[in-house]
Amino acid sequence: MFSPPHISPANPKHALPVVWSTNVEDYATSLAVSSDGTLTALGNAAGELRVLDSLSGEVRFRVTAHRGAIVAAAWSPKQRVLATAGQDGTARLYDAEGVQLAELLGDAPWVEHVAWAPDGQHLATSAGRVTRLWSSAGAPLWAADAQESAVTGLAWNRKGTQLATACYGGVRVFDVGSGAAAKHLSWPGSLISLSWSPDDAVIACGTQERSVHFWRLAKARESEMSGFSAKPRALSWDAEGKLLATSGDTNVGVWSFDGKGPEGKPPIELVGHAALCTALAFHPKLPRLASGADDTSVIVWDPRRKTTPVAFGFLEETVTGLAWTLGGRLLVGTDATGQVTAWGADAIPP
């Protein structure tokens, strides 16, 4: 186990208390928390889906959901319905008891992304170059024309009226209600991740060229943050849409979109990991950020106040996912061995 600067497994003063821990017996590929925070869904590389009680870690159900890895998972914001995407070319819907409600066929060997509209009335999926829209029950509603390359990201605006997709050549924003032609935010390269700010003002994408490109939608302005040592796959906005955390380096970069935004200003650099940052998650209410890395460490930060760790925990291998649950009372992390740990966030210093 590495010992990154400022943190140590032997330092109990700032160690996050473990509430529960388990193992999903293969690479943990997906992590999703229900809208009320009470259920935590975990998918692994063998295609097994487990849903746990978030507070106790007890298994509510486990099923083989896909033939091959579960690539993504997302809970409906309004119902206890879970969407999964797999390497068998399907997406599937499950209820909270593990009953399969629907199978949604894809257009490629893998379905790679699932994203619920904020009102829970629609589900978007992408498989290869094709994005599809489904009802909450899994009935097919609409399919976009095939894009230039495989879709690498899906995100809804907060009203659920627009859906953004990323691929080679830029972002397309579909007006789902009107059926009007998609707006194309052009970029001459491959986009590898997509995140829409909670205030709908900015779409940010990590790129193959080790940069983060973003568009201010109201003013049709775009800009870029460059200089990353690796591809920034993980992006996370704070609850107000004012801070954007980016991976792509050992240090975590946090960019302020207050006022005129980050152009011409250096990011807040959070120094603590000893290897590449692999996962990011802002707290749902507080300006706290959790980050995970290749060095097995999970760190909690307060980026507006200080650039050193506030609290930390460790997993067994590369951190593959992070999520806050139960209103931010717990932080859940997953890793490449299948280890899953929930830490108590109430113990984090104010």
pLDDT digit string (tens) for 289-342? Answer: 999 999 999 999 999 999 999 999 999 999 999 999 999 999 999 999 999 999
Q: How far is residue 323's CA from residue 332's CA, in Å, rounded to a whole number?
A: 5
Closest CA to 184 of 156, 148, 141: 148
N-term to C-term CA, the chain = 28
Q: How far is residue 200's CA from residue 94's CA, in Å, rounded to a whole number?
A: 29
Strand partners, 250: none
User: Which parts of the chain have pLDDT scores under 50?
Assistant: 1-3
Strand 221-225, strand 339-344: pairing: unpaired
The token pair at 55 is 């507070």
Q: What is the pLDDT of residue 223?
A: 94
Q: How buried is residue 50: exposed, middle or buried, by Cβ count under 10 Å (0-12/13-18/19+)?
A: buried
**How far, rounded to the nearest angstrom, does the alpha carbon of residue 82 sit from its chain's CA centroid?**
15
- For residue 191, count other CB atoms closer than 10 A to its CB: 26
| Percent of the chain as helix, strand, coil, to the nearest 5 | 0, 50, 50
Backbone angles phi, psi at 44, to 5 degrees: -125, 180
Classified as helix, coil or strand, 254 is strand
Q: What is the pLDDT of residue 1?
A: 40
The token pair at 247 is 């991976």
Q: Which residues contact 153 (CB under 8 A, 6 or more apart)?
A: 113, 164, 165, 166, 191, 192, 193, 194, 195, 205
Asked if residues 267 and 228 have their Cβ atoms less than 8 Å apart, the reply is: no
User: CA-based angle 327:287:28, to the nearest 5?
Assistant: 60
Q: What is the pLDDT of residue 2?
A: 43
Asked if residues 154 and 205 have their Cβ atoms less than 8 Å apart, the reply is: no
Strand partners, 64: 48
Segment holding 159, helix H or strand E: none
Q: What is the pLDDT of residues 112-137, one digit of tens each?
A: 999 999 999 999 999 999 999 999 99
The token pair at 242 is 């004012």
Q: What is the pLDDT of residue 347?
A: 75
Q: How far is residue 123's CA from residue 144's CA, in Å, rounded to a whole number?
A: 14
Give the amino acid at 245: A
Q: How far is residue 267's CA from residue 89's CA, in Å, rounded to a whole number?
A: 40
